[in-house]
Amino acid sequence: MTEPTERIAKRIARAGIASRRDAEKLITAGNVTVNGARIDSPALNVSATDRISVNGKTLPEAAPTRLWRYHKPTGLVTTARDEKGRKTVFDTLPAELGRVMSVGRLDLNSEGLLLLTNDGELKRRLELPTTGWLRKYRVRVKGVVDDASLEKLRRGIKVDGEAFRPMSVAFDQQRGANAWLTIGLREGKNREIRRALSTIGLDVNRLLRVSYGPFQLLDLAHGDVVEVPARVIREQVGGDRVKPHPKPGR
């Protein structure tokens, strides 16, 4: 019987070392060996018995896939390290989570639901535009909202030469100088909501992500992190390595 194989970048991602894309960069940079031989191309399939090292360290056995919901506060950047020395999301997480990666990003002044995982392959799957999952945001803007302006966002808008796909936009309420909107995106680009609303004369002064596909922020308090049950991951995403974990991180 032939031993099952998979692409080496996928194997590295499943071990939680890096995303598949970053794993490919490690390979082309010459930082990966297979059975003692250095490789420089990700076009290689490996089996469970192959010995893989990344940056001189043996690749750990892939841990069961885990996923967490985290309520990101404002004032934190969503990177492992920040060149300006600002505090990151990962500086504040409980140590027992181990090494995790964020699914997408929220910028410094945005808050709300951020998904975290220990599995680079799951991260990639959840971030793919083809997944088609809607990301919903509650947005407070300064200014008076009119539906004609919002319709531009619903049809799709171009900002500084960059085309943004149509958004779902609902006007919720006007409160004095501010208004609340609910906006849905299926593919988020850098500061997309802020840039799009600025183009129609509205300045964002609060942006809160309330859902990412089927995963909801609900009543999760600022800074709290709660593990998504393995059963829910299997139902919503699938995955043969998703198994119950005895102590959900919190």
- Active site members: 107
For tokens 């009119």, what's the residue?
Answer: 146
End-to-end C-alpha distance for the chain, whole angstroms: 43
Say which amino acid occupies 32: V
Q: What DSSP line would sit under 179-230, residue for residue?
A: EEEEEEESSPPTTHHHHHHHHTT-EEEEEEEEEETTEE-TTPPTT-EEEPPH
Output the CA–CA distances (angstroms, integers) from residue 82 to 55, 114, 223, in the order listed: 22, 18, 19
Please check whether residue 165 is in contact with residue 158, taking contact to mean a CB–CB distance below 8 angstroms.
no
The number of beta carbons lying within 10 Å of the beta carbon of residue 174 is: 12
Question: For 232, what's the count of Cα atoms within 13 Å in the CB-facing half-sphere?
Answer: 12
CA distance 181 to 198: 14
- List of residues 6+ apart from 102 with CB closer than 8 A: 78, 89, 114, 115, 116, 123
